[in-house]
Structure 1
């Protein structure tokens, strides 16, 4: 057996230079008070600056040089790799150049940042060792992002010293590499023994096969699956199997709401009950998991922030090697034991576990995404399972849009005007530029470009950074930070602008003036992160029409799509369309509200039970509720009403009413598209029917009209994209509350004459093949007939 064959038999772990130095060498306090300091990428914003400096360095300068070294460590090898920004040969002397773009003034930088220097030293050793050099020069090149002024630091290292330092660094990582290898073997062996935990429902086996095939072929898959098909286990089970076969390394299960995370947790636990060795963590929002009540992440306000980075690696290693329970309670126990921030510790644990259950933000949001996975050195070995994927269109638009408001600059200027002349001047300059745009604006104006604003905003960021470093007044700092992050977001999104964006200015109803960068189609931005994955599975009970979601969630033209067959008996559901009611603005009246109330009243008279009525707005809800009370003079029906801004406790109390035994009827009055119209599970007699008042169309507003115009110009039927599809999704979600299991029976009342139109019915799910049109006079008869057949 030759050396190469022996080498192939050895286990190995790969890590990027940047990830290695940031992980092993981090130390000190957790401190988010400085905008730039919280973001490790703040000094890496200047890809353009990198390229410009590299082009200026002459023919002897080699840019973006890939480097790699394999370090034997016991029974395994650690492969360290990365790209050096530049390598020069100066008369036989090797010079490694590391370029960093910064926002603050160069005068404030006395020495190279230790982490940056460490990165450069790694490249120096790898390249110097490869060339058998006796010594290597390391040059740190810092460039101020706004002025493009450059400051360099130069240092000579002997290869002997670099070797001792580098090997010590790698050997500190060795125990983590050993854990990875040993755990992966244990995990994969357990995966082979796991079987699908339930008898397959009709169509469920096909779903499992479709998910596995998509992963195998490295494709995206869109699944339209009616409630109760079991799409969570049908996506998780084949994904786990794929990980065991080396097709991927980590699963990200992404959700829009907390309740769906619980379903995913239970599904993984079901597989673990079979003996699956799988570490699964659910990321909890910082504000919810913070030990201090208020998430002030700095050593002055939080004892867990002080020295956090000195202790967190030990906490993570201890937990990983002693338990597979990554639950919130277990995490909090270890965080308290080591006096570290539980939220930051959970992010570190996510690096080492097999599955991460989290909100969309952690993958897609440019301000909140997990840079350790989706930045430089990301492994691109992930599986993305996107639950309730219909939510990702609007969430994506929000994440990749940005704005600045003229009045915010004036407010901060008023606060700091006696404190800092240079900062005030930068604020005034931005205000003047925005004022000029405001004078051109009637109600709104669409622009091809606002690049002239960008230069002034970049200057403002520089002055804001300096001001925040020097100011000690926390109340003032809070206002400045808010503006700082807003401007930073705007500049970040401005760099993304392409044909999928609209730029417009707007004078709001309160007189405030905004410049907006509106992401109309988020597909390109979303796929920037999805490209780190092997495969993506989008699934929802309301992913109709699939072509709409394909267009706005993916940039590929060959994605797979599956329409899962419902296992539920068709006779268990009845869909009625109210032909004599409408929510059109022109026909709203007291008489119309009373007719809606009569639909509700006559239904519960014919069949008492638990129901939910969904309305297009709180005002509409109140108007119909008032008429319903007039009909229910004796108070025979128990009613609970959704309030805007309900706390989590109030939501639980609301749903608890549906769990109680009662002889009469219970009606929940709710808003369509709100917290109770998706994600809640009320089975059997807990919910036997729902009235859906209106077509769910979003209110006509500037943003919707611009959406409509955008898609009309692309000959894609702007009304459907801006109004119909988002509206009907709310309708289908609300209707999905009724039939949750194969033994449920229930009625769905679609109360708007527009539901009779083919345009609306074309978006109905396949299982609504038979619907009945009726009038208020028919409701009692139709309802009684359905339940009589039960």
Structure 2
């Protein structure tokens, strides 16, 4: 090889030793924690001379292979590879067993070469997690035959390794010469690009607040790609909250490529990760060769598909689908494979921050130096809370008890009894209507501690179902699997329960209660994710105040916060505060008339397209009904509950250039952020709410926890999240350097100093107050 290349033993064998069908039928497997504990258990049973996690490495023709063997007993000259499992070993696929032997043989070759051994005993140790029983499969091997096997695997990989090393060199050479694709930067764009480059160069995290309209996507991708060769960054992940963000990133990458010369083809592999349900070509079929033609022989056809994919390089959803179709393989799992070999991966934030994140796992396994860009990062607090929360649904348990195999009856019944005990001790009546919140949701209780007996029963159910399906995979109904997944996720989080989370119970009618583990402070889970990246850049138009994100996300202490000055002038946006209106819950009935009057006054003063935002659909519908009654000549249209994607597109299509009308929407919903209506497609916004979360038991408990930890419970629970939504909604109005418009903030609290401090600094806010006589 002209350039050195390193590969892990697992990655080498994954590449060379897999064959046959893709098989993702449900088979109960140990969790990562159980796997670690299993390896520790095996090591504890061995002698004092036993060497666990033995580092080994070796080279062949410029290819360096590294890894850690699970264990070696020098006295017995026995090398072990430990695999944990559940259920019968006989159900393990042959190609899986072949992969295990291949790994062990490679480790054997490395061991013999390093220690000058003439032979070694190879032992596959299969540990049944449930019983603790070990099954040992032994094979004596000479150093020469192991060396031959090692060389054969390396030769199978060498052509690919050579190609990868050459690609890396071409990629880095190209990125060294990368230039900005436009004649000039937009105002503020250069400053953001410089800050991103500095973060990549110093290996730090950056919080960048930058206004809409300066081209943040290009201003983050361009400097990060420029830093790749200089900082030896292996992968860049551009992560988004919603699908439109992925499209913006792909468009920016295409722009960079088209401006790069070489017939517009930059030697950069770009992969879009798409959710499994959206990528599947045969929805409703199981992922194995007997059910899906794209799973049959998947690994036999994968090498050709993989080669074609990396040659194509541009692998957005359609590009990947085309390659998969040409080679008759599953596009989703082809994408999962190509995540190992792409340079830039565009996908959802869960791919790095979730507990089972694909990209984070690959970075750890392959020792990548990864850089992460997070778009619309103001959403990461809530998204991460969801990633580290879990629920148990009593209704699912009750349904399953009627259909589950008899062998599962006892643990399921025990769990049902514990459910009833928890409900009774929580003081909820039979129908769960004893207490409601302001939205009429019934039977809510915060629990002071985890219901330990119920959690124990859930653990037993999870273990019993797992063991049963290990022996009887034919019983793996969808309902049974869903309960198992719920149980495992709940128990996994219960093991780490602490001040960062709370437990609650919601009764929703007879036989229906939901037990929730709700994460409040994602920082406790995210700290390792930030440490695992070389650099993370979080950017959005609303990242104020910085301490809110630093504290709740667990950002490193040396994280840099930057605010890019707005390119917009105060004269472009008229901001009014209507201090004569209160949108507090108790005042909402009385607020309808003055809100309608304020809206029609502004509309008549300057006709055009407006958006009006409200705190709930009920509030929206009340104002909309009165508006239509009082002003039938003004065109109005409304967001509705559960709109389909096509209905949302129809709503946005109403905002035509030069048109007129008012669109009613819910603050924090689909039309409050992430939409672009430039020019006179939108000339104003009415915001009839501070966006504050409801005052209820949950949010008061959240406030208490955040006060204990950070001393700012009220701000962190109510004021800051609400104002983030307000500023995002208002940001729909001014989208370009020539746009002009108006934002009317309808609530007296907008005039309070602590609220005004959370509004963008470039706004020139005008306070307006009308007399009661004017409103009549």
TM over 0.5: yes
Residues 331-358 of structure 1 deviation map (CA, whole Å, 9 limit, x = unaligned) = 2221111111111112222221210110
Check whether the contact 1:253–1:357 (CA below 8 A) recurs between aligned residues: yes
Show structure 1 runs of 5+ residues with no match: 1-8, 782-790
- Give 1:477 deviation, angstroms: 0.4
Q: SS at the partner of 2:23?
A: coil
Bigger drift between 567-576 and 294-303 goes to 294-303
Bigger drift between 286-295 and 228-237 goes to 286-295
Residues 679-712 of structure 1 deviation map (CA, whole Å, 9 limit, x = unaligned) = 1111011110001110001123443222112112
User: In the alignment, which residue of structure 1 is the partner of 2:279?
Assistant: 289
- Give 1:452 deviation, angstroms: 5.3
User: In the alignment, which residue of structure 1 is the partner of 2:167?
Assistant: 183
Q: SS at the partner of 1:36?
A: coil
Residues 10-32 of structure 1 deviation map (CA, whole Å, 9 limit, x = unaligned) = 52222211222223222233333
Aligned partners of 1:601 and 1:296: how far apart in 2?
56
Q: Is 1:584–2:584 an aligned residue pair?
A: yes
Residues 754-780 of structure 1 deviation map (CA, whole Å, 9 limit, x = unaligned) = 111122112112222x21111357999
User: In the alignment, which residue of structure 1 is the partner of 2:711?
Assistant: 716
Q: 1:524 to 1:87 in 2, by over 3 A?
A: same
User: In the alignment, which residue of structure 2 is the partner of 1:278?
Assistant: 268
User: In the alignment, which residue of structure 1 is the partner of 2:734?
Assistant: 739
Count residues with an aligned counterpart. Answer: 752
Q: Is 1:24–2:31 an aligned residue pair?
A: no
Q: 1:361 to 1:281 in 2, by over 3 A?
A: same
Aligned partners of 1:295 and 1:739: how far apart in 2?
47
1:320 to 300, 305, 310: 310
User: In the alignment, which residue of structure 2 is the partner of 1:787?
Assistant: none
Check whether the contact 2:567–2:737 (CA below 8 A) recurs between aligned residues: yes
Pairs within 5 Å for 1:564-575 = 564-575=564-575
Check whether the contact 2:657–2:680 (CA below 8 A) recurs between aligned residues: no
Q: SS at the partner of 2:203?
A: coil
User: In the alignment, which residue of structure 2 is the partner of 1:759?
Assistant: 754
Q: Is 1:193–2:177 an aligned residue pair?
A: yes
Aligned partners of 1:656 and 1:779: how far apart in 2?
39
Q: SS at the partner of 2:66?
A: strand
Aligned partners of 2:112 and 2:459: how far apart in 1?
38
Q: Is 1:373–2:362 an aligned residue pair?
A: yes
Aligned partners of 2:501 and 2:133: how far apart in 1?
32
Bigger drift between 299-308 and 755-764 goes to 299-308
TM-score (norm 1): 0.90
Check whether the contact 1:137–1:154 (CA below 8 A) recurs between aligned residues: yes
Aligned partners of 1:651 and 1:110: how far apart in 2?
46
Pairs within 5 Å for 1:162-241 = 162-198=146-182, 199-241=184-226
Q: SS at the partner of 2:223?
A: helix
User: In the alignment, which residue of structure 2 is the partner of 1:3?
Assistant: none
Bigger drift between 440-449 and 229-238 goes to 440-449
Q: 1:743 to 1:510 in 2, by over 3 A?
A: farther
Check whether the contact 2:685–2:743 (CA below 8 A) recurs between aligned residues: yes
Q: 1:180 to 1:779 in 2, by over 3 A?
A: farther
Q: 1:729 to 1:779 in 2, by over 3 A?
A: farther
Pairs within 5 Å for 1:417-428 = 420-428=405-413
Pairs within 5 Å for 1:486-565 = 486-508=486-508, 512-565=512-565
Q: 1:373 to 1:507 in 2, by over 3 A?
A: same
Check whether the contact 1:34–1:465 (CA below 8 A) recurs between aligned residues: no
Q: 1:295 to 1:587 in 2, by over 3 A?
A: farther
Bigger drift between 301-310 and 386-395 goes to 301-310
- Give 1:604 deviation, angstroms: 0.9
- Give 1:444 deviation, angstroms: 2.6
Check whether the contact 1:501–1:519 (CA below 8 A) recurs between aligned residues: yes
1:644 to 619, 641, 644: 641
Pairs within 5 Å for 1:628-707 = 628-633=627-632, 635=633, 637-659=634-656, 661-662=658-659, 665-707=660-702
User: In the alignment, which residue of structure 2 is the partner of 1:774?
Assistant: 768
2:3 to 4, 11, 15: 11
Bigger drift between 397-406 and 146-155 goes to 146-155
Aligned partners of 1:141 and 1:499: how far apart in 2?
39
Q: Is 1:342–2:331 an aligned residue pair?
A: yes
Residues 451-481 of structure 1 deviation map (CA, whole Å, 9 limit, x = unaligned) = 655554444334323544666878x701111
Q: SS at the partner of 1:113?
A: helix
Q: SS at the partner of 2:686?
A: strand
1:113 to 84, 93, 97: 97
Q: Is 1:95–2:78 an aligned residue pair?
A: yes
Bigger drift between 442-451 and 215-224 goes to 442-451
Q: SS at the partner of 1:264?
A: helix
User: In the alignment, which residue of structure 2 is the partner of 1:392?
Assistant: 380
Aligned partners of 2:424 and 2:241: how far apart in 1?
40
- Give 1:155 deviation, angstroms: 2.4
- Give 1:371 deviation, angstroms: 6.5
Check whether the contact 2:363–2:369 (CA below 8 A) recurs between aligned residues: no
Aligned partners of 2:307 and 2:248: how far apart in 1?
28
- Give 1:227 deviation, angstroms: 0.9
Q: 1:155 to 1:705 in 2, by over 3 A?
A: farther
- Give 1:298 deviation, angstroms: 3.2
- Give 1:530 deviation, angstroms: 3.1
Q: 1:108 to 1:656 in 2, by over 3 A?
A: closer
Check whether the contact 1:220–1:535 (CA below 8 A) recurs between aligned residues: yes
- Give 1:245 deviation, angstroms: 1.7
Q: SS at the partner of 1:703?
A: helix
Residues 102-157 of structure 1 deviation map (CA, whole Å, 9 limit, x = unaligned) = 23356867998332332222222211221121221122233333443333333222
Q: 1:324 to 1:405 in 2, by over 3 A?
A: closer
Aligned partners of 1:459 and 1:124: how far apart in 2?
39
Aligned partners of 1:679 and 1:153: how far apart in 2?
56
Check whether the contact 2:49–2:73 (CA below 8 A) recurs between aligned residues: yes
- Give 1:327 deviation, angstroms: 2.8
Aligned partners of 1:125 and 1:453: how far apart in 2?
50
Check whether the contact 1:42–1:102 (CA below 8 A) recurs between aligned residues: no
Q: 1:303 to 1:83 in 2, by over 3 A?
A: same
Residues 644-676 of structure 1 deviation map (CA, whole Å, 9 limit, x = unaligned) = 2222222222111113543xx221111111111
User: In the alignment, which residue of structure 2 is the partner of 1:784?
Assistant: none
1:126 to 107, 110, 122: 110
1:269 to 254, 264, 271: 254
Check whether the contact 1:287–1:294 (CA below 8 A) recurs between aligned residues: no
- Give 1:512 deviation, angstroms: 3.0
Aligned partners of 2:123 and 2:416: how far apart in 1?
40
Bigger drift between 13-22 and 140-149 goes to 140-149
Aligned partners of 2:141 and 2:456: how far apart in 1?
40
Show structure 2 runs of 5+ residues with no match: 261-265, 428-443
Q: 1:151 to 1:428 in 2, by over 3 A?
A: farther
Q: Is 1:363–2:352 an aligned residue pair?
A: yes
Check whether the contact 2:269–2:343 (CA below 8 A) recurs between aligned residues: yes
User: In the alignment, which residue of structure 2 is the partner of 1:431?
Assistant: 416
Bigger drift between 96-105 and 14-23 goes to 96-105
- Give 1:748 deviation, angstroms: 0.7
Q: SS at the partner of 1:747?
A: strand
- Give 1:508 deviation, angstroms: 4.7
Q: 1:758 to 1:104 in 2, by over 3 A?
A: farther
